Structure 1
Amino acid sequence: MQGVTDHTMRALLTELGGIDRCVTEFIRIGGQLLPPRVFHRICPELAEGGRTASGVPVYVQLLGGQPGPMADNAARCAELGAAGIDLNFGCPARTVNRSDGGAIILREPERVRAIVSAVRAAVDPATPVSVKIRLGFEDRSRFLDNVAAVAEAGAAELVIHARTKRDGYRPPAYWEEIAVARDTVKLPIIANGEIWSPDQARRCRELSGCEDLMLGRGALCRPDLPRLIAGAAQGQAAPPLTWDDILPLLRRFLALNLARYDHHYVGNPLKQWLLYLRSYFPQGAVLFEALKRLQDPAAIDALLTCQPPLQPAAVA
């Protein structure tokens, strides 16, 4: 998720448990081989064996439409120590699609196959290559063609976001379509899309037939959602985080960003996160309004420390 799930967010969320793997924000690949500093900027975990501080492996995600440059940059990622390579054919953003990246490539399964094949051949066999797709671009007519292309090209696994590009992020997600794909290939498949609670995770597993799930926005709105889903799958009902639990996480997130970013902009990632948190925690909306114009890290931290006035009762 571009601009949100950077290395600081990965560090924080993996500390909470329930996450088996992370994927970076996408790195846009044009016609050239990018210098190592670009990969290290997006994935600082490369300097730590390709894992977060909690030991969770991080795959580097590449986005582009040309097999050669994608393969060359994947090889460089692997040389730098990436735990795996992830190829993005799922991004629905108009600007990305106009630049020959993301979901628009799903209109051409033969090109999907060519890109995945080139990347698979360019990296060591021990380096996993995963692929993310949607059900299609405008419609689902080529969905199974794309699934077959990914499998035939030698990918290690496939993540399917259960909507088309035209669907965007509008509910519902069509998890049952993933089950159709599972019936056609032996490739391990991971279900993604519209998973906001342990109950929805259970329902997604039932309809898709997938044991493994990928979370995006749901984990930002509920930071403990991965842990709750993992616990529910094992018959363990862990208590969910409360707003009192979230506040120390926000301060921790601010501290992580202070260590990595210019102090003048360090509050921006926290404000972005609050926009997600407020959909589940009403106090997040109140806090966002209180700090949205603040830029000084000390003032932001002071506001996070003095939270008793921002209780649910204050939310209209």
Structure 2
Amino acid sequence: MPRLLLAPMEGLADDVLREVLTRVAGYDHAVTEFVRVSGSLLPPRAFRRIAPELRAGSATSSGTPVRVQLLGSDPACMADNAAQLAGLNPAGIDLNFGCPAPMVNRHRGGAALLDEPELLHAIACAVRAAVPAHIPFTAKMRLGVVDTARALDCGRALAEGGVVGLVVHARTKTDGYRPPAHWEWVGRIADVVGVPVVANGEVWDEEDWRRCRSVSGATDVMLGRGAVADPFLVRRIRQGGEAPADRDAEWAELLPLIGEFWQRVLAKVEARHAPGRLKQWLGLLRRNFPQAEILYAEVRAMKDVPAVNRVLGSHGVPVLKVAA
């Protein structure tokens, strides 16, 4: 069975959304948002803050294993922190060479390092030496900074540095999240590395999944924003992906999950930030659910929790009562 993985999505797929998405359909594993490593040894609480699943066997409540991602540019510091993380028994440790965020890249993190395959190799070697062999050690990369000139070198550097798997987001840093994804480059990288390669980027529906696998030659696919916009995509793929989506039935199934998401967000962040998190998810759900478009329009201007709570309740979302 082809593997389906849930991507790390900074500022979007935290533990709250991971919990809900993996409840709908099982992923083979999920990867956290990155833990930034910048010159010091982080305490265990820093890893648990990004990956609270570490307290529960490094898995969501539905049993999806959760790997923890590290981002940084200093090989020795990355190795020290990987060793610290390994002591918490994560389901896996992943390295981030894919984040295109300007703030991250200005501080020599993420995709900005793809012009330096020698540094990627040094980081991978150092972390490999620090991580016990029984913990899966992987990396995620893009195709380059502004072009693909060093894509093959970067893939080789990471594989030769000791990663046991590689996810390739088939765009450059400069491409950001603009379509298209250049899936053919996933296959080119797979041809020169000796480890399994997973395709990632611009998979929004079953047809995208089929074309991605066909063009890239990759068996396994990591889903990102497509899985957030359509929480049932993984389930339909696993069921064969032939029957058309019943959006009304799926929306009815999604309502209690939206309610759970909302309550978990309220428990995690300050009340003034909670509506923004809900709008963020609804904004992506609008791609597939007309009901989400209506709900989003009603809450878009709202900033206080009781008002949002009332609107959710009026749409059939089960919510706890919040005092006005």
Which of 13, 35, 57 does residue 5 from structure 1 map onto?
A: 13
Distance 1:297 1:250 in 2: 15
Q: What is the match of residue 182 of structure 2?
A: 174
Q: CA deviation at 1:282?
A: 3.4
Preserved CA contact (<8 Å) 1:59 1:82: yes
1:258-278 CA distances to partner (integer Å, 9 max, x unpaired)? 333334433332121112112
Q: CA deviation at 1:81?
A: 2.0
Q: What is the match of residue 204 of structure 2?
A: 196
Distance 1:238 1:244 in 2: 13
Q: What is the match of residue 292 of structure 2?
A: 284
Residue 17 of structure 2 is aligned to residue 17 of structure 1 = no
Q: What is the match of residue 303 of structure 1?
A: 311
Residue 248 of structure 2 is aligned to residue 215 of structure 1 = no
Q: CA deviation at 1:239?
A: 4.7
Preserved CA contact (<8 Å) 2:232 2:250: no
Worse-matched range after superposition: 161-170 or 296-305? 296-305
Q: What is the match of residue 314 of structure 1?
A: none
Preserved CA contact (<8 Å) 1:109 1:149: yes
SS in structure 2 at match of 1:160:
strand
Residue 112 of structure 2 is aligned to residue 112 of structure 1 = no
Preserved CA contact (<8 Å) 2:206 2:237: yes
Residues 1-316 of structure 1 aligned to structure 2 (within 5 Å): 1-232=9-240, 239=246, 242-307=250-315
1:73-131 CA distances to partner (integer Å, 9 max, x unpaired)? 11111111211111000111111110100111000000000111111111111111110
Preserved CA contact (<8 Å) 1:274 1:288: yes
SS in structure 1 at match of 2:39:
coil
Structure 1: which 5+ runs fail to align? 309-316
Preserved CA contact (<8 Å) 1:190 1:214: yes
**Aligned-pair RMSD on alpha carbons?**
1.8
The aligned amino acid for 1:292 is R
Preserved CA contact (<8 Å) 1:151 1:185: yes
Q: Tell me the TM-score normalized by structure 2.
A: 0.90
Q: Tell me the TM-score normalized by structure 1.
A: 0.92
Preserved CA contact (<8 Å) 1:18 1:229: no
1:213-257 CA distances to partner (integer Å, 9 max, x unpaired)? 101100111111111222227x78775554333332211211222
Q: CA deviation at 1:23?
A: 0.7
Preserved CA contact (<8 Å) 1:231 1:238: no
Preserved CA contact (<8 Å) 1:251 1:301: no
Distance 1:303 1:244 in 2: 16
The aligned amino acid for 1:258 is L
Q: CA deviation at 1:65?
A: 0.8
Preserved CA contact (<8 Å) 1:19 1:227: no
Q: How many residues align?
A: 307
Distance 1:231 1:113 in 2: 39
Q: CA deviation at 1:200?
A: 0.8
